[in-house]
Amino acid sequence: MRLKPIHEQVVVLMGASSGIGREAALRFAPRGAKVVLSARSLPELEALAEEIRAAGGTATAVAAEVTEFEQVRDVAERAVTEYGRLDTWVHLAGVGLWAPFEETSPAEWKRVLDVNLNGQAYGAMAALPYLRDGGGGALIHVSSVEACIAMPFQTAYAASKHGMHGFLKSLRLELERERVPISVTEIMPPGTNTPIFDEARTRIGTKPKPFPPIYEASVPAEAILYAAEHPVREMVPGGLCKAGVVAQGVAPRLMDVFLRWQGFHTQKTDEPKTDQAPTSLFEPLPNGDRIQGSLSGQARSWSTYGWLERHPGVKGALLVAAAGSAMWLGARAVGCCAPPAEGGGTEGD
């Protein structure tokens, strides 16, 4: 499967007004992509589109609520009407809720799953016919490391991300069986310094923060751009988070012990916050156009493992070198511990 270079692509970004989506849009456009920007709030999208156009890029803003399929479909139709085709669909829209399960209301539960899971499915439903008609392309869905590792205080969020993980695996199999040249990539970012933690509803007594390590939005944004040109299955742009995903698969009970020890207090800041504070759960907040949240002093702007994910040749060479070193050390250890030959001594003794 081959994907077009970014400078030849028409890219839709659902959830582009802030956070990772806004950062990705500002990276796609300078590389020559025609970008279609969508989120709930039109003023922030139009300001972003104007910023891109002022820098010489091409952008169109279309407001949409991802829980309404007709509105999502309109975004795909607008991309094709405006630019003649659709090459890459990047779905990032999401909301958060930090609360014990027994303090989560049915309306809150439904909203989180509607946005984070159903919205992702609606995006794929809207994009797939146009990707097929255009001869292929990329579906890029941004979930979370919580697609594999469920955190306390986030039952609704974890359920939505686990559901997305299963949905994408099933969809990928169906497309592969048909030999449809459409790649399905799941980006599973680690904790990222975006406004979601400032805008989320919380019942844990404080403003929430992500489980460390925390990264800036540039780290997952670079993974998205890579997936737009390279048909990869999954990317976890953070080494410790990738290790956590592996550990969850091979030693889930041990991960439970670790998260009971570290998973609760590490999600709390020192800033008190109640569930009466304004949130973006049901409606967008004013001035929702920021990329960064309030954790810049704690966030990393670089991931070595993320870089290696985007340079698989280097990654493979390092793995081969590591395996060779391990074999050499093992051989030396066996040689050092081997018993002397029978009769002892050497020729000439």
Q: Which residues are catalytic?
A: 157
Is the bond leading into 252 cis (omega within 30 degrees of zero)?
no
How far is residue 210's CA from residue 321's CA, in Å, rounded to a whole number?
Answer: 34
With vertex at residue 155, the alpha carbon angle to CA 151 and CA 161, rounded to the nearest 5 degrees, is: 80
Burial of 339 (0-12, 13-18, 19+ CB in 10 A): exposed
User: Containing H/E element for 106?
Assistant: helix 106-113
How far is residue 141's CA from residue 93's CA, in Å, rounded to a whole number?
Answer: 9
Q: Take residue 182 and report the two structure tokens written for it.
A: 């459409």
Residues 140 and 90 sit within 8 Å (Cβ to Cβ): yes
With vertex at residue 115, the alpha carbon angle to CA 170 and CA 28, rounded to the nearest 5 degrees, is: 80
What number of residues does the chain have?
A: 349
Residues 115 and 158 sit within 8 Å (Cβ to Cβ): no
Q: Take residue 234 and report the two structure tokens written for it.
A: 């999954």
Quickly count: other Cβ atoms within 10 Å of residue 91's Cβ. Answer: 28
